[in-house]
Amino acid sequence: MRILLVSSEAVPFAKTGGLADVATGLAKALASDGHEVVLALPCYRRHIPEEGRGEKIGQVEVQMRMKRVRADILETTLPDTSLRVWLVDQSNYFDRASLYVEGGFDYADNSERFLFFSRAVLHAARNLYFLPHIIHANDWQTGAIPAIVKEKLRDTEDFRGVGTVFTIHNMAFHGAFPPWDLELTGLPQKLFNWRQMEFYGQLNLLKTGISFADMVTTVSPTYAREICRPEFGCGLDAVLAECGERLVGILNGVDMDAWNPELDPLIPQKYSSDRLQPGKAACKATLQSELGLNVSPKSLLFGMVTRLTDQKGLDLISARIENLLEADTQFAFLGTGDEGYEKLLRELEQRYPGRISATIGFNEKLAHRIEAGSDAYLMPSRFEPCGLNQQYSLLYGTIPIVHATGGLADSVTEATPENLANGTGNGFAFQRYDADAFLNACWRAVGMYQFRQDDWQRMQQIGMTRDWSWNRSGRDYMAVYEQALTRVKSTT
Ligand code: ADP
């Protein structure tokens, strides 16, 4: 299959969030499965050094209101692969300090910048004769693509039968702009209505993507259901609920080159599911000693690496951590964020020397060492679209304790005797977002760690041996692409 993957960011070129990891991880997985993939993104000149931009393979011109705007299409490859990457090089739009925001303000012309990008990529596909079967757009920046394809391109010979998929990575950003920006899409005024592109009087590009795509995805199956409800839908719950089977959740994969205890250069001793010890115990002892915790193999060490925000369940932790200290437990925290939580963690560290360590800051190496050296991992998030750290924990034999929401519910299964026997129990999950429910889940972990080591080890094996890679997610996306093509066929 030929797939055009359009994203406003992709590692290692430009990144502000998870979208960048997904774009690259997915592109690689699809290509390694034999599909012909082109990944397209803007050429952010201050982020992508000249020597990394490849060479010019064409030029496009797009009518933006009264002016015709040109861009060069540069082609390079993803490092260490032959995967084709197109960079849309337009210096007025993309030679800026940041991707979207500067000095706390969105760029005033963000709609123009990304509508140009979206349209330029479609022009490039035609001019350069890369005629895809599927165009996969992501988040509001490329939300107009499914509309342009459906309303304009599908009537042309080159794009007949092409399917579109739109993925929501971040519900919070709608890409909402004044109604007159509709002109920048090149689409007719009649589409500016409450069922298609309009949301409360504004042009809404997230809604546009959702309304027009043949298939819509988000980053986990549970989150796909949750966003159809007002608590999670950021105002678009009704639009999403209407998608029905057109909306699918696919859990993001893990970059196994970066997060794999067998290969990880950042941890003190490597280990695997076949040979967990002595590596895992050595990682724990090193972590304890580096962080000033008591070096005690028997204490249950809880780890947590996170943005310190309300989303991540720190209110539950602060409410019950002192109860948990009554048992033989320790805590290793790493994070930055809200001042109140930073202060709280610092105070806890001072009050409980040898039992609690708090590192305030962003530290990649320590993040890996906490994943490897902890026994259990705390992730009681209030909501979590996908979540990566619980997946890293599972891969590192570190037992996740999670609130059963979003991607956490889809990756962590309570280790009941039944689930241990059937090979699914890999952690502890509580259903209600509540301090006592959280505490109970932690007690279940403490109890098993102290008295049922065989079950604990079984649980570690279950987590470590499941496929968390992009290959699995890539297959799920392929199934969605097929569904999109079937839908197109049935409507034309
Ligand atoms: P979110 O994207 O909501 O922050 P995820 O679990 O999906 O949460 O991903 C967070 C990523 O950021 C993980 O790779 C995690 O290890 C990393 N991370 C978060 N905070 C820190 C930190 N203080 N130091 C190092 N890595 C961090």
Task: For residue 422, give every residue at least 6 positions away whose Cβ sits within 8 Å of its Cβ, in sequence order, or none.
Answer: none
Percent of the chain, pLDDT > 70?
A: 100
Domain assignment of residue 272, yes or no: no
Task: State both tokens at 53.
Answer: 């931009």
Percent of the chain, pLDDT > 90?
A: 95
Domain assignment of residue 402, yes or no: yes
Alpha-carbon distance of 477 to 30, in angstroms, equals: 9
DSSP 8-state secondary structure symbol assigned to residue 107 = -
Task: Kindly indicate the confidence band of residue 18, based on its pLDDT and cuts at 50, 70 and 90.
Answer: confident
Task: Kindly indicate the confidence band of residue 125, based on its pLDDT and cuts at 50, 70 and 90.
Answer: very high
Answer whether residue 114 shows pLDDT above 90: yes
Task: For residue 79, give every residue at least 6 positions away whose Cβ sits within 8 Å of its Cβ, in sequence order, or none.
Answer: 12
CA of 382 to the centre of ligand 1 (A): 16
Question: What's the mean pLDDT in 199-209?
Answer: 98
Ramachandran sector of residue 104 (left: φ over 0; alpha: ψ -120 to 50; beta: rest): left
Q: Tell me how many domains the chain contains.
A: 2
Q: What is the pLDDT of residue 17?
A: 82
Q: What is the pLDDT of residue 6?
A: 98
Q: Whose CA is nearest to atom 3 of ligand 1?
A: 387
CA of 389 to the centre of ligand 1 (A): 7
Task: Kindly indicate the confidence band of residue 170, based on its pLDDT and cuts at 50, 70 and 90.
Answer: confident
Question: What's the mean pLDDT in 212-241?
Answer: 97
Domain assignment of residue 274, yes or no: no
Question: What's the mean pLDDT in 242-247?
Answer: 97
Ramachandran sector of residue 260 (left: φ over 0; alpha: ψ -120 to 50; beta: rest): beta
DSSP alpha helix (H) spans, 49-204: 91-94, 110-127, 144-151
Answer whether residue 476 shows pLDDT above 80: yes
For ligand 1, mutation pick of 264, 305, 384 (most atoms within 8 Å of CB): 305
Q: pLDDT tens, 337-377? A: 999 999 999 999 999 999 999 999 989 999 999 999 999 99
Alpha-carbon distance of 184 to 119, in angstroms, equals: 9
Query: Are 456 and 484 within one domain?
Result: no
Ligand 1 within 6 A of CB of 20: no
Question: Three-class SS of residue 109?
Answer: coil
Answer whether residue 491 shows pLDDT above 90: no
In b/e form, how buried is each residue of 110-123, taking b as 16+ CB within 10 angstroms? bbbbbbbbbbbbbb
Q: What is the CATH number of the domain that holds 415?
A: 3.40.50.2000
Ligand 1 within 6 A of CB of 303: no
Query: Are 439 and 477 within one domain?
Result: no
Domain assignment of residue 267, yes or no: no
Query: Are 119 and 225 within one domain?
Result: yes
With beta carbons less than 8 A apart as the criterion, state whether 207 and 194 touch.
no
Nearest ligand 1 atom, CA 336: 23
For ligand 1, mutation pick of 311, 388, 411, 412 (most atoms within 8 Å of CB): 388
Question: What's the mean pLDDT in 97-121?
Answer: 96
CA of 2 to the centre of ligand 1 (A): 33
| Residue 95, domain extent | 2-253+471-491
Query: Are 432 and 416 within one domain?
Result: yes
Alpha-carbon distance of 143 to 164, in angstroms, equals: 11
Query: Are 115 and 152 within one domain?
Result: yes
Task: State both tokens at 276.
Answer: 């967990």
Query: Are 326 and 348 within one domain?
Result: yes
Alpha-carbon distance of 312 to 342, in angstroms, equals: 13
With beta carbons less than 8 A apart as the criterion, state whether 62 and 69 touch.
yes
* Distance in angstroms between the alpha carbons of the first and the last residue of the chain: 20
What integer best gives the mean pLDDT of the chain?
Answer: 96
Domain assignment of residue 369, yes or no: yes
Query: Are 203 and 291 within one domain?
Result: no
Query: Are 415 and 476 within one domain?
Result: no
Q: pLDDT tens, 41-77? A: 999 999 999 999 999 999 999 999 999 999 999 999 9
Q: What is the pLDDT of residue 172?
A: 87
Q: pLDDT tens, 399-412? A: 999 999 999 999 99
Query: Are 358 and 479 within one domain?
Result: no
DSSP E strand boundaries for 264-393: 300-308, 329-337, 356-360, 376-379
Query: Are 157 and 298 within one domain?
Result: no
Phi, psi of 313 (to 5 degrees): 80, 20
Query: Are 246 and 381 within one domain?
Result: no
Q: pLDDT tens, 370-396? A: 999 999 999 999 999 999 999 999 999
Domain assignment of residue 449, yes or no: yes
Domain assignment of residue 224, yes or no: yes
Answer whether residue 34 shows pLDDT above 80: yes
Query: Are 28 and 47 within one domain?
Result: yes
Amino acid letter, 29: A
Task: Kindly indicate the confidence band of residue 24, based on its pLDDT and cuts at 50, 70 and 90.
Answer: very high
Alpha-carbon distance of 355 to 400, in angstroms, equals: 20
Answer whether residue 492 shows pLDDT above 80: no
With beta carbons less than 8 A apart as the criterion, state whether 64 and 116 touch.
yes
Domain assignment of residue 231, yes or no: yes
